[in-house]
Amino acid sequence: MAICPTDRSAWTTKEKKSPPPARPSPALFDRVGYCQIGTTGSSSPTAAASSSEAMWASSSSSLPAGGGGGVPACAFFAPTMPRVARSHAWDWVALLLLVAADVLLNLIEPFHRFVGAGMMVDLRYPMKSNTVPIWAVPIIAVIGPMIIFVVIYIRRKNVYDLHHAILGILFAVLITGVLTDAIKDAVGRPRPNFFWRCFPDGRAVYDNITTGVICHGDPGVIKEGHKSFPSGHTSWSFAGLGFLSWYLAGKITVFDRRGHVAKLCVVLLPLLVAALIAISRVDDYWHHWQDVCTGGVLGLVVASVCYLQFFPAPSDEKGFWPHAHFRHITERQREESRGRAPQPSTEAGARTSHELDAMEAGRRDQL
């Protein structure tokens, strides 16, 4: 039978499009975005757009536990400082060992490099006091940055960030201190003011055969005079303040490709302070210029390695928080996904068993 073209009943019906999914509420969206920063393989434009905002979100805010939509578990199980510190117990033990090693290196006698009469031309600079005292270096390079870490913790409430920042900067300065003092003792280079350390009264005495110095000054002052290379003030300053520069670069997203030079000035400010401390060591005639250059490179390299051990690179899209923060979020998401897996109920299992028994009884009746 021919079908009339005007017969609408014979037309093929098209499938109806499913309505668009409901848009989540802003509060839930923010919380989910915050917990999804550490996930991998997400290509959703919505997740990508919310990642930068979620990275700045405070983990202290929470949603009602009974709210719909399934709030991620990582929003409610925040780690505590004692728990995080216990998980890094061996790292803290390593810090104590570094302290003991640094103390031991300061107690042993450094190598006494030969100093002859002809070498005194570059070693007769006057004895001056330190422009930056030795006790001020830990305050500037360690305690000062720690205060900044605490201020950011009070604002953002991220335990991993505070713990790893403190642990990282302590590792940076202590590893730098051990390397610096070990090189000092091994090299034994005399300081620019070695003449006045060796001959405090100005009367030089040399060996008649080797023309080597015969010092009659204070043994402790002479011992310190053989520790010129590299500069400890400089290496410590660049280790602590260099770590702070890395930390600030991640927090203010200095490498966001938006061209904000003001952010770069904030990052370079700690390095400027470290450079001024290094220059003061040359001005005080406690170090040669090679000493401060080597100390600065040594401290900055160690600071960079220690920072990248705990934090992503500031140019990374996840450079705001430490690695452990994203690992914690990923673990919580895995626990939540395992907890949501459907489990067979006891009632359903019992009902199924009862039906099987009834079917088996019916078969026996038929036989």
First vs last C-alpha separation in the chain = 54
| DSSP, residue by residue, 233-289 | HHHHHHHHHHHHHHHHHHHTTTTSSS--HHHHHHHHHHHHHHHHHHHHHHHTTSS-H
Query: Looking at the DSSP assignment, which residues form a beta bridge with residue 212?
Result: 116
| Rounded distance between C-alpha atoms, residue 331 and residue 311, angstroms | 18
Whether 213 and 203 have beta carbons less than 8 Å apart is answered as: no
> Distances from the Cα of 13 to the Cαs of 8, 9, 16, 19, 287, in angstroms?
10, 9, 9, 18, 89
Question: Which residue among 164, 233, 288, 328 is the active-site one?
Answer: 233
DSSP element (H, E) containing 136: helix 136-138
| Rounded distance between C-alpha atoms, residue 248 and residue 58, angstroms | 18
Whether 50 and 37 have beta carbons less than 8 Å apart is answered as: no
Query: Looking at the DSSP assignment, which residues form a beta bridge with residue 206?
Result: 213
| Rounded distance between C-alpha atoms, residue 250 and residue 145, angstroms | 14
DSSP element (H, E) containing 328: helix 323-339
The yes-or-no answer on residue 233 being catalytic is yes
**On the CB side of 147, how many CA atoms lie within 13 Å of its CA?**
6
| Rounded distance between C-alpha atoms, residue 326 and residue 318, angstroms | 9
| Rounded distance between C-alpha atoms, residue 230 and residue 184, angstroms | 6
| Rounded distance between C-alpha atoms, residue 354 and residue 146, angstroms | 67
> Distances from the Cα of 245 to the Cαs of 55, 86, 277, in angstroms?
20, 27, 16
The yes-or-no answer on residue 287 being catalytic is yes
Question: Which residue among 164, 226, 287, 325 is the active-site one?
Answer: 287
> Distances from the Cα of 321 to the Cαs of 171, 184, 306, in angstroms?
18, 36, 15
Q: Return the active site residues.
A: 233, 287
